[in-house]
Amino acid sequence: MADAWLIAGLGNPGEKYARTRHNAGAMVVDILCERFGVALKKTRFVAATSAEARTGEVPLLLVRTTTFMNESGPPIASVARKRDIPTERVVIVHDEIDLPFGALRVKFGGSTAGHNGLESVVSAFRSRDFFRVRIGVGRPPGRQDPIGWVLSPFASREREDAAVLIQDAAEATLALVTEGLASAQDRYNRGGFRDG
C-alpha cells in the first residue's frame, strides 16, 4: 500500500473568518472533504480536525487546525508525528499575497515570504522541506493594510473566480500526491486571472 500524505489547509477558525482570503487553504481541505464524502473530526489531544480519504492508491490525511493561523504549526506537526508521516509527504495549502489573484504555485521547500502560518509550520517541523500549494490572493489596492486585506472576504466580483481558484488548488494538490511535483507544476502553476 502507498504511504499516506498529510494535506493541511491553513486558515483561522470560526464563521467570522470562513470566507476570507486568509482561509483559502482551509477552503481547499473543505472541498477535498466534500469530494471524498468525509467529515473532519476532532483529533484527540491536538488542536486540529482531520479526516482520512484516498485518491487512487494514495491514502490521505486531511487536516485543519482549530488554532489561529500563526499557531497552526504545532498541531499539524503533532498529527504528522502521531501518524508517522515525514515532512516530505506533507502538503501545506495556503494563501499568498505575493502572488496575483488567481495565480497558483506548487513547490517544495523554500522561504516562507513572511507568511505567519508557514513560519509556524517551519518552526514546528524544524524544517522547510515540505510541499506547498500557494494560492494567489493578490496585494491590497492602494495603501490598505495587508492584514485587514487577507482577513476580509473575497469581493462579490471575485467570488466566482475565487471558487474556480480553490477548486483548481484542490486539483493541484491531488495531482501533486498522485503524479509528483513536476507534473503538478506543469499542469497547474500559472499567473493570475488578470494576466491574460
Set of cell numbers at residue 110: 523554500
Spatial CB neighbours of 94, under 8 Å, sequence gap ≥ 6? 9, 10, 24, 25, 115, 117, 118, 132, 133, 134, 135
Helices (H), the chain: 24-36, 73-82, 116-125, 146-150, 159-179, 181-188
Cβ-based burial of 180 (10 A; exposed 0-12, middle 13-18, buried ≥19): exposed
The answer to whether residue 22 is catalytic is: yes
Catalytic residue among 6, 12, 22, 137, which? 22
CA-CA distance, 85 to 183, in Å (whole number)? 22
Active site residues: 22
